[in-house]
Amino acid sequence: MPDDQASMYDPVFNQALQWMWGDGFLAPGGPEEVAELLSSVSVEGTRVLDIGSGLGAIDVLLTETHGAREVVGVDVEPHLIESSRQRVAAAGLADRVTYQLVEPGPLPFDDGSFDVVFTKDAIVHIPEKAPFYAEVLRVLRPGGMFVGSDWLRGGPETFTDAARRWLEVVHLDFQMQDLAHTQEALETAGFENVSMRDRNDWYHRIINDELAALRGERFDGLVKLIGEDQAGYRLESSKLKKEVIDDGFLRPTHFVGYRPS
């Protein structure tokens, strides 16, 4: 099991996530969820900053499938950056997709550097949301778009014993806010035309697929891949995750906001 935030995306953990979600994907949904996230907006012809770029598969999609002119990916873990560089080189996209290792804190880019800031399921690890949103606004050009998804939570009534157990089991430093506070924080930072889309209903379906994959011959394959202890941890975590999804605590949410022109 991951010991802390700095090491949570170690090679074994990454193998398990990709076994579940596909090569290069560390969160649910794969290419289909990226397409859904971008279903009402366009990144075609734009310069995109991908915050929390992971293993780089999404950046390949942003360029090859969704038409971004250029993507700059940033992450805080060197091995993820190296894996991403290898992936885009193999895809023949090294001239359009680049990566930069960053430290938590201010983004190392000039004001107005990007047309789009994109992020998928990474903000949950950022403790202080307000300074982060302000930095995103700063690096966007006037009229630029902030689009992504984040792991949000339900109201206090959803913070059940199951939610506490799940947070203990996943042992990740999740810094979760609810939808109303997230929208307010984005607007306070200066974003306009902010829209939020709760994806809890979608995740009700996805978690059942996840649990089905963690049974029978497929589970035996996961044991061979990462070992019995790690595979058992994945199964325990997913069972608890279904409870917190059913209770309304875990609420993956898409959002879009714009820097004023």
Predicted structure pTM score = 0.92
The mean pLDDT of 210-222, rounded to a whole number, is: 87
Which of 94, 84, 89 lies closest to 58 in space, CA to CA? 84
pLDDT tens per residue across span 191-209: 999 999 999 999 988 999 8
Percentage of the chain beyond pLDDT 90 is 68
3-state secondary structure (DSSP) of residue 180: helix
Q: Two tokens at 4?
A: 């802390």
Q: Which helix (H) or strand (E) holds 235?
A: helix 228-246
Contact 69, 45 (CB under 8 A): yes
- State residue 50 phi and psi, 5-degree precision: -105, 110
Domain 5-32+42-256 of CATH type 3.40.50.150: yes
- d(CA 50, CA 59) in angstroms, rounded, equals 8
Confidence at residue 6, expressed as pLDDT on a 0 to 100 scale: 46
pLDDT higher than 90, residue 1: no
Confidence at residue 64, expressed as pLDDT on a 0 to 100 scale: 97
- For residues 117, 120, 122, 127, the Cα torsion angle rounded to the nearest 10 degrees is 60
